[in-house]
């Protein structure tokens, strides 16, 4: 699944770009907060980007169930340890009142905009607002958010719709018959992942889980289940792209502008402060 990219994905940042955008947003917040004398996000490092990309890629690789034979043989249906993510941003509830005001730009009681903290003027929307404008620019506008929300909705709705397409349900039956021939009875790949015998929160998979996962992959390859699912969903998405051409074209402009801004911002903000 790794090299496959659904049609609607071209209208949003790639996994690498999205992770870089998030990292830079935290960096700008951090720099802004330092201006007020606050030590914010002390553990943030460029490792954030590679970890975030790995998580996104792993989840995307499982859009139609597990898809990698080597990973199935090693981990069964278990996610990799990296999927838990890395160092999380600081919880706003752990910040002091002054830090929360500087970050959000709101007064302590939330009733209005805060004019200053420690004698320094607070930017509109606080350090969080400044970071969003710096990194996302027009991509943070209402117009861009509407387009992004549209993409999120279409990705979800069209995925569910494609799952009921006769071509998908037919290949699910073929996969199920293949699995039955190997001694495993499951309606579809989701049922195999969801088998109550698997403790997916444990550190390692059982031998039974690995056996089923390996059979799952073998039957996907035999029936071309992954290819059929991708082709059907791509067909649905192409139709939706045509129906929403104007909105998506505007979103693509915002996406390309934000993408083009990232290298300059990495040069300016990417290095951790001394």
Whether 91 has a pLDDT exceeding 80, the answer reads no
pLDDT at 274: 67
Average pLDDT over residues 33-61: 92
Where is 77: in which H helix or E strand? none
**Which stretches within 105-140 are classed as H helix?**
126-136
Q: What are the boundaries of each domain within the chain?
A: 7-269
Average pLDDT over residues 36-55: 92
Question: Within 10 A of 244 (CB to CB), how many other CB atoms are there?
Answer: 17
Measured CA to CA, the distance from residue 170 to residue 182 in angstroms comes to 19
**Which stretches within 62-198 are classed as H helix?**
69-75, 97-104, 126-136, 142-163, 166-181, 189-193
Question: Within 10 A of 254 (CB to CB), how many other CB atoms are there?
Answer: 22
Measured CA to CA, the distance from residue 74 to residue 205 in angstroms comes to 8
Measured CA to CA, the distance from residue 186 to residue 66 in angstroms comes to 15
Where is 117: in which H helix or E strand? strand 116-117
Strand partners, 63: 65
For 194-225, the pLDDT digits (tens) are 999 999 999 999 999 999 999 999 999 999 99
Whether 85 has a pLDDT exceeding 60, the answer reads no
- Record the pTM: 0.86
């Amino acid at each position: 699944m790794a090299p496959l990219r659904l049609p609607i994905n071209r209208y949003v940042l790639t996994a690498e770009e999205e992770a870089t955008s998030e990292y830079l947003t935290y960096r700008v917040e951090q720099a802004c907060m330092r201006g007020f004398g606050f030590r914010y996000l002390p553990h943030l490092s460029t490792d954030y980007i590679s970890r975030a990309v790995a998580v996104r890629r792993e989840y995307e690789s499982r859009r139609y169930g597990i898809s990698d034979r080597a990973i199935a043989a090693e981990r069964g249906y278990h996610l990799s340890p990296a999927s838990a993510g890395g160092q999380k941003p600081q919880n706003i509830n752990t910040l002091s009142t002054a830090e929360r005001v500087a970050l959000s730009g709101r007064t302590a009681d939330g009733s209005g905009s805060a004019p200053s903290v420690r004698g320094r003027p607070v930017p509109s929307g606080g350090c969080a607002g400044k970071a969003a404008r710096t990194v996302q620019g027009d991509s943070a506008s209402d117009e861009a958010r509407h387009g992004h929300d549209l993409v999120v909705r279409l990705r979800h709705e069209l995925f569910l719709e494609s799952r009921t397409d006769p071509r998908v349900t037919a290949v699910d039956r073929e996969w199920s018959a293949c699995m039955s021939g190997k001694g495993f009875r499951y309606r579809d790949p989701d049922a195999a992942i969801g088998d109550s015998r698997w403790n997916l929160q444990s550190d390692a998979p059982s031998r039974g889980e690995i056996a089923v996962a390996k059979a799952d992959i073998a039957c996907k390859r035999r029936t071309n289940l992954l290819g059929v699912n991708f082709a059907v969903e791509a067909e649905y998405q192409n139709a939706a792209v045509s129906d929403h051409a104007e909105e998506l074209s505007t979103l693509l402009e915002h996406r390309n502008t934000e993408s083009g801004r990232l290298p300059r911002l990495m040069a300016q903000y990417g290095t951790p402060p001394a």
